[in-house]
Structure formats: C-alpha cells, structure tokens
Structure 1
Amino acid sequence: MDSIIQNIAIYALPVIFAITLHEAAHGYVAKHFGDLTAYTQGRVSLNPIRHIDPLGTIILPVVTLMLGGILFGWAKPVPVNFSALRNPKRDMLWVALAGPGANLFMAFLWGFVIKLGLGLPESNLSDPMILMGEAGIKINVILMVLNLLPLPPLDGGRVAVSLLPHRMADTFAKIEPYGFMILVLLLMTGVLGAVIGPFIGFTIQMVVWFFGFET
C-alpha cells in the first residue's frame, strides 16, 4: 500500500503537467493559425483544472499504475474547429503535432530535473527530484508515442488526415467514431503495448543518451 501511495505521489505532478501542456499546446497553435475556439473557452491555459477529465486523468492512470501496465489516460480534448483555420488541411498538421511536441519538450525538461538531482548531495530533495524526473520522462514519452498512432481521433490520426490526399483523407477520417473503441481493444489484447513499446524505449534512450545518465 505504501509503495502505491509513493508511486501516486511521484507521478501526480508529471501527469498533471504532461496533460496540461499537451492540451494547451493544441489550443495555442490552433489560435496561432486562426481558430479561436479553444481560446474563447479558456482552454489555452496552464491551469490543469481546465483540462482534467476525472476518469481519464485521475482514475484510469491510477488504476493502470497500480496494475503495472502501460500508464494510460487522457484529458478533456481541446476543441478545435478545423474549418476556422486559415488553411484547414495544412494547419491541422501543426495543431495535431503541437501536443506530442510539448510532451517531447517536457521529457527533456524532466531529464534536466534528474541532472540537477544527481548534482545535489544525497538528501530529502535529490531523491524525489530524480524519481519524479524519471516518471516525467516516462509519462511524457508514453503520451507522445501513444498520441502519434495514426488512429483518429488521436493526434497521429489528424496528421494522417492532413497528409493524405483529400479523398483518402475523407475515408480515413470516418474511422474516428470508432477510434477510442479500437484503442481500448488494442490495450486489452496487449497489441498496443507491443506496437508502441519499442518506440517508447527508443525515445527514452534518446533522452538518456542526451543527458548521459541511466533511468
């Protein structure tokens, strides 16, 4: 029980930052390209309360953390009116990539936190910094890789719709109503972990190599 509480304490802040900046990045880039939907609804914000989904942000991550599988969850999606973008098909690409890009950026920031923690004398501050930094790298890399799966409504699905020719893009986008069910099925059967696991491992090793330490 103590270890579960400790894990929750270590992961809480990285998870909150990961989902908040991911969603805020979508809204910010959408605003940059002309869609003010998220901005007018107050979603271009670093306030985590605006992005938290009780089931996807709190309950499910805690359950998956306790079960020891891939940390899985989601936040309230930032509303984007793609037709309001100045060039909807092209700009959709950058709006979609903003979230995973924010997660990659945060993975490196948490790597810097570990570097700082390793440079401190062993204390009540250094150990939590290192553990939280490791959790921050892990959760941000998982979110980045998961969201880049080419499955609507994930960010990777939006990227695919942006890059495909119009007719193929329209056909592919019709998968979106079933995307979440497909994702849950892949998770429950273990296929999801098998597919994204190598990409998660590679990206974590890239961060490890950049800072020159082991996680």
Structure 2
Amino acid sequence: MSAFDTHRHSDRRISTVFWVLLAICAASGWALWTGWGNTSFGVFLFVCAGWLVSLCLHEFGHARMALHGGDISVGAKGYLTLNPLKYTHPVYSFVMPLVFIILGGIALPGGAVFIERGRIRSKTKNSLISAAGPLSNALFALVLLLVLSQVNTGVHANFWGAVGYLAFFQVMATLLNLVPMPGLDGYGIIEPWLSYETRRSLAHLAPYGMMIVFLLLWNTTINNWFFNDLIFPIMGWFGHADEFAKYGDYLFPRLSLNFGGFGGN
C-alpha cells in the first residue's frame, strides 16, 4: 500500500469518538431493556448518545456528497471519519443542539462542515450536498419508526419509550433542517437556484437562522401546528410510535422548561 493510499484510508477511518458514542447508546439501551440501573438516567444517555450519533451521520452525509460532487478537501479535513471534534464549529454543531435537546426538547440542527463550493460545478450537486444532511435524519427516523411499528406490547416499555423519543427528534430534525431559512439546509437546497442579488441580500441572516427558528417555535400557534398537526401525525403512521415518544419524553429528565410539543399533551 502506497503512502497516498495509507493517508486516504486514515482520512476515512471511523473515529474512536464515534465508536464511544455508539457504545454508550448500546450500553444504555441494554440497561433499559433489562431494567438495570436508573431508568431516567438510562433514557437520558440513550437519547443524547443517539442524537449525537445522528448529528455525526448528518454531517458525514454533507461531506460524503461533497466528495462525490468534487470537493476532495473534505477527506483531509477529517469530515469522513464521523468525528464531531473534526468539524468546523463543534460548539454550534454538537454542543448547542445537545443543550437544546436537554433544556427544551427541540432538535435544532447545526452547520458544521465547511464545503469549498468553488469546487462544485453544478447547481444540482450543490443542492444535493445540502439535502444529504436532512436525508440522513429522515433515514434514521424511518428505521426507528419501522421498528416501533412492529411493537404492540408493553414489555420493555422503557426501552421502546427511549427509541420513540429518539425517533421523535429525528423527525423533528428532518423537518427543521428543511425550513428554507438562511443558515439551514433547506435554504442551502434552494440557494444555488436563486439570483446573486437575492443570495447576497439574505446572506446576513445565515448566522441567526437557527435562533430565528427557535424563537418562532415559542409562538403558541406555530408550536401547536408544528408538533400537533405535523410531527405527531407523521409518527402516528407507524403504529404507536407517537405514544412511545410521549412516554419517552415523560421518562427523560427535563432540566428546564419544555419548549417542545409535549408540554400541552
């Protein structure tokens, strides 16, 4: 194997950090399944570790699509290793979304990978790069929801509640990511097709996009519509997934006010 091949392999080797997150998720899931330890703490570890895993997969989706689109720099930057510490803004991309989960029950996305857009020569490829992140959340949600759709028993209810709550966050993250707000992936999907003047006029909103969406969810009308008329009906397509999610929210140790859709249920 040449030095180039060795370096290329190391650029794509799954990081130890990601394996640790998977191990925490698996261990806490086993504890919930067997009834070992404190239930609330187990749900907390399972959901938070699972959420961080999904964030890694989200950013990997962006990077992998960028690689196929022509930005070969993503490998050298460590974006293909699933290591959250390699991303551009680990605080905004991982710490803050985790804080929003713990404090408010809101699955707000974060922007982490720096794509050299000048290397991407196609509007379609640029749109696909932005779409790859939400797609990873959607696939994660679909897998969890399909599993939950086959569960018709109260056995291991604590475990299934945690799975349902994690699925709830994946559905929420998918939908929030697709909001066409500057700074979010939904805007990134349509941005290549906008005029230069439009893109320039909206660019100043990008650093505040996440917080604007968060503040909009404080509005009672928007909050009720988003959760009660959108997320829960989607989860209701998959058996009792919505009920498992609500039970998981009940078990999850809330450290502050719940800004999500469970407060009024």
Same fold by TM-score greater than 0.5: yes
Q: Find the partner of 2:163 among 113, 128, 133.
A: 133
Q: 1:202 Cα deviation (Å)?
A: 4.0
Change (3 A) 1:112 1:163: same
Describe the shift of the 1:13–1:172 C-alpha distance in structure 2 as closer, same or farther (beyond 3 A). Answer: same
Alignment of structure 1 residues 107-126 onto 2, 5 Å: 107-115=141-149, 118=151, 122=155, 126=156
What residue is the counterpart of 1:33 in the other structure? 69
Q: CA–CA distance in 1 between the matches of 2:85 and 2:203?
A: 30
CA drift of 1:213 comes to 4.3
The alignment's TM-score, normalised by the length of structure 1, stands at: 0.76
User: 1:158 and 2:158 equivalent?
Assistant: no
Q: How far apart are the structure 2 equivalents of 1:101 and 1:59?
A: 23
Q: Is the 8 A contact 2:149 2:241 kept in 1?
A: no
Percent identical residues:
21
Larger radius of gyration: 2
TM-score normalized by the length of structure 2: 0.63
Which amino acid is the alignment partner of residue 56 of structure 2? T
Separation of aligned partners in 2, 1:29 and 1:143: 19
SS of structure 1 residue aligned to 2:81:
coil
Q: 1:202 to 1:40 in 2, by over 3 A?
A: farther
Larger RCO (CA within 8 A; separation ≥ 6): 2
Residue 113 of structure 1 contacts residue 130 of structure 1 at CA under 8 Å; is this kept in 2?
no
Contact 1:10 1:131 in 2 (8 A): no
Q: How many residues align?
A: 200
**What stretches of structure 2 of length at least 5 have no aligned partner?**
1-37, 243-265
Contact 2:148 2:241 in 1 (8 A): no
Cα RMSD, aligned residues only: 3.0
Q: Secondary structure at the match of 1:24?
A: helix
Q: Which residue of 2 aligns with 1:193?
A: 223
In structure 2, distance between residues paired with 1:112 and 1:105: 10
Counterparts of 1:133 and 1:37 in 2: how far apart (Å)? 36
- Aligned partner of 2:213 in structure 1 is 183
